Amino acid sequence: MATKTITRETVKIEKNGDGITWLYLNRPEKRNAMSPTLHREMAEAIDELATDPETLVLVVTGAGKAFCAGQDIALNFRGRETATPAENRRNRANSASWRWDKLVTFPKPTIAMVNGFCFGGAFTPLCACDYAIAADEAIFGLSEVNWGILPGGIVSWNVVQMMNYRDAIYYGTTGDTFDGKQAKQMGLVTLHYPLEQLRDETIKFAKKMMEKSPAAVRYTKEAIRAVRFMNEPQAEDYLNAKSDALKHVDKENGRQEGMRQFLDEKSYRPGLGHFKRKKKEG
């Protein structure tokens, strides 16, 4: 299938017919710094892709040599001083919604592919995605302290959850940069590769996730996220209810199929791989 590309002012969507949708922050000349237009267009794009049958895995990445240089300091910070209260309110809502709520609740696997600079406000979508795959050469930084502010929005909350406490305080207060390998050591990213292999490895990983039951993957990621802030009895109750719900929403009936293929057909080992799916669409 031919590549389909949809280009908006600050966002680009690319599909190659393999189920992977590439959502680019597309202001390479500004290192993909997030402007009010970008916030609005990302919010709209993610909503569209959430129910798009051609999108089985979403990859969020940056055009050019940056993943994202954080909030656009001119348009979001200085711009706020001259915008109307209504414009500021709308922008704040768009900025918060796509970077966290819309990504973290996206019903299909999401990958942040960190191809280069990743600063400040970019840590929120980075942490919202289910997986982050970074170039070894990527440069990460909580640079806010370098220009006299703190990691706001929910960035400080994101980093203290993803990174260990010492690293969160250290990098938050020094603004020192770190690379993709260090990001992996801190728990901030899932995988890292040399930049030249980044896209191919991301495709490989996305394809692996597409082989699994979409319902099981979705419910598992939702469950892991939800139980994080629960105590043990709440988690047990929630997970029982979630497991029951999964039986009803799983169009492929994976539970029965998995048991049939393992116990009756003896055609696979669930400990070592997934059952053979009948239909591949999400």
Return residues touching ligand COA (CB under 6 A): 30-31, 33, 69-74, 117, 119-121, 143-144
**Minimal distance, residue 266 CB to ligand COA, in Å:** 55
Nearer to ligand COA, 73 or 169 (CB): 73
- The smaller minimum CB distance to ligand COA, of residues 73 and 96, is found at 73
SS (H, E, C) 75-143: HHHHHHHHCCHHHHHHHHHHHHHHHHHHHHCCCCCEEEEECCEEEHHHHHHHHHCCEEEEECCCCEECH
* Nearest-approach distance from CB 135 to ligand COA, in angstroms: 15
Tokens of 67: 């993943």
The least distance separating ligand COA from the CB of residue 33, rounded to whole angstroms, comes to: 3
DSSP 277: P
Residue 65 beta carbon to ligand COA: minimum distance, rounded to whole angstroms: 7
Residue among 139 and 206 whose Cβ is closer to ligand COA: 139
Q: Which residue, 78 or 251, is less far from ligand COA as judged by CB?
A: 78
Q: Quick one: 41 or 130, whose CB is closer to ligand COA?
A: 41
In the complex, the smallest distance separating the C-beta of residue 36 from ligand COA, rounded to whole angstroms, is 12
Q: Tell me the C-alpha distance between 32 and 192, whole Å.
A: 21
Rounded Cα distance, 197 and 252, in Å:
34
Give the Cα separation of 100 and 45 in Å (integer).
14
Q: b/e string for 14-46 if b means 16 or more Cβ within 10 A?
A: bbeeebbbbbbbbbeebbbbbbbbbbbbbbebb
Closest contact distance (angstroms) between CB of 139 and ligand COA is: 7
31/99 with CB nearer ligand COA: 31
| Cβ density class 200-211: b for 16+ within 10 Å, e for less | ebbbebbeebbe
